[in-house]
A and B are shown apart, each in its own frame.
Chain A
Amino acid sequence: MKSLEELKAIKEKMKSQVNIREGGDDKIRVVVGMATCGIAAGARPVLAAFLEEISKRNLKNVIVAQTGCIGVCRLEPIVEVTEKGKDKVTYVKVSPEMVPRIVAEHLVNRQVVSEYTIGAAE
């Protein structure tokens, strides 16, 4: 890539935020299933929507990760949200359009979007 200078700009921007990121026990982990089944069902745009929404809101306590096949391929794209001391929440058949609501209600306000969960789908 040629635009190394612009990469440096990212570095400066991030440096100023490093302090905020450290510490805090309130980390939330968002895991997107990204095996062949997930990819085929549209997991990549879902992951992109999470990254966009989280960086837009500048949420520093959220970690977005990817995993392989979760095991219920027919319900992909699947997104799991885990918080310390709480049960894991599994969202199924997630589309990019559903992501802003999950971010706003669950990641920010800590209210599970029940109608998108595996419990509501099954």
Chain B
Amino acid sequence: MLREISLHMLDLAQNSLSAGAANIAVFLWADRKADTLTLRIKDDGCGMDEEFLERVTDPFTTTRKTRKTGLGLPFVRLSAELSGGSFKIASKKGAGTEVTAVFGLSSIDRMPVGDLAESLVTLTSQCDAAGAELTFSLKADGKSFDYSTSEVRRVLGPDISLQDAGVLQCLKELIRKEILVLD
């Protein structure tokens, strides 16, 4: 099991990278009125066909050839449903995938959001290595935080690697300063 929503976010966005996505959009919305916390990851990767999609949250479904288990999606589905929420996945072969996990915001069984800044820099480095772009949008209590790797790259220029330890360290500090804290 994963212990934070930010870890699920990291894990799911990695699925997108494995699917060869060039653009990954991550949304996290807290809605106090509806008492929900929604995590959505949308990518333009290779997608899945209907037959595979139907059994994708079965822990014994995987595209991996070395072993017969894949646990990322079953875990996030379980975490969402345990907190009184829901899970949805939509995908089209060749077009992309959209995963939505809704958590019960005030549920005692909802895992903490966790360290979003650390997940974001981890993903930034991975996206840089894979040549993909990540956008992240966080909304809570009428406030919002937006982050995008293309914006960071535009400011830093082509000479500076987003995989450099020093750059990632500074980036994390900046994100920490601005990001909304939900826990």
Binding site for B on A (CB under 8 A): 1-4, 6-8, 10-11, 13-15, 17-18, 34-37, 39-40, 44-45, 47-48, 50-52, 54-55, 58-59, 62-66, 68-69, 71
| Chain A: minimal CB distance from B178 (Å) | 6
Report how many A-B pairs have Cβ atoms within 8 Å.
108
Residues of A within 8 A of B168 (CB): 51, 55
**Is there an interface contact between B156 and A7, defined as CB atoms closer than 8 Å?**
yes
Closest residue to A6 on the B side, CB-wise?
A: B174
Closest-by-CB residue of B relative to A73 is B67
Dominant SS among interface residues on chain A: helix
Given A3-B177, A36-B70, 4 additional A-B pairs, CB 8 A: A1-B151, A36-B72, A59-B165, A64-B125
Q: How far is the CB of B77 from chain A (nearest CB, A)?
A: 13
Interface residues of B (CB under 8 A from A): 1-3, 7, 10-11, 14, 18, 64, 66, 70-72, 75, 115, 118-119, 121-122, 125-126, 129, 145-147, 151-152, 155-157, 159-160, 163-172, 174-175, 177-178
Interface of B is mostly: helix
Q: Are A45 and B118 in contact (CB under 8 A)?
A: yes
